[in-house]
Amino acid sequence: MSEKEVVEKKVVSRNLAIIVIVILSAGLIVEIANYTSITYIANLGMYTDWLYSPNVIVLANSYTDWTFSASYAGYVSVYVKTRNISAMAFTDVATPIEANAYVRVIYSAYGVQYDNRVNVGTEGTAVFPILPCSNIEIRVGNTNSYGLNFSATVTITYHY
């Protein structure tokens, strides 16, 4: 083998080694990023805002609902802040009435039938555990009667 052929083989071998190192390094970086993401999920360090609505109208003895999907186990927090409502009782004077709001979460996953309700009154946050599923129903309801509707700001956040 000539000296020129030996030098060319070394250059080709060195270039091939550099390419292999770059590919392996890129793979390692992807795996580290994937591991970091999994660590955040395992520690409930990720969240997604499912809903922010500043003007949800909830009729008396009724509820407003939304349906969401969750890919990971975690929890959902639902913040509700109602605005004062007024009712015309038997007089012409509007009487302020406090809203009686509640949050209810309903879903079925892995043989678990989940249905839980938390009263939040005029303002509060309710927190519920979530399993991965595609039909998580979240309701904000009004226990007032006699046409005492209210308006509310509702924020729903999924933590996983």
The pLDDT value given to residue 119: 97
Residue-range domain boundaries for the chain: 1-43, 47-159
The pLDDT value given to residue 29: 73
Q: Is the pTM of this model over 0.85?
A: no
125: helix, strand or coil: strand
- Please enumerate in sequence order all residues whose Cβ is within 8 A of that of 60, keeping only pairs 6 or more positions apart, or say none: 142, 144, 145, 146, 147, 148, 149
13: helix, strand or coil: helix
- Please enumerate in sequence order all residues whose Cβ is within 8 A of that of 86, keeping only pairs 6 or more positions apart, or say none: 94, 95, 96, 97
Each residue of 20-72: pLDDT tens digit?
777 767 666 777 666 666 676 678 889 999 999 999 999 999 999 999 999 99
Dist CA 39 CA 43 (whole Å): 6
80 contacts 157 by C-beta, under 8 angstroms: no
Q: Predicted confidence band at 145 (pLDDT cuts at 50, 70, 90)?
A: confident
Each residue of 110-124: pLDDT tens digit?
999 999 999 999 999
Dist CA 82 CA 153 (whole Å): 6
Query: Which residue, 86, 80, 116, 75, is CA-closest to 101?
Result: 80
Indicate the CATH number for domain 47-159: 2.60.120.380
Burial class (CB in 10 A: 0-12, 13-18, 19+), 23: exposed
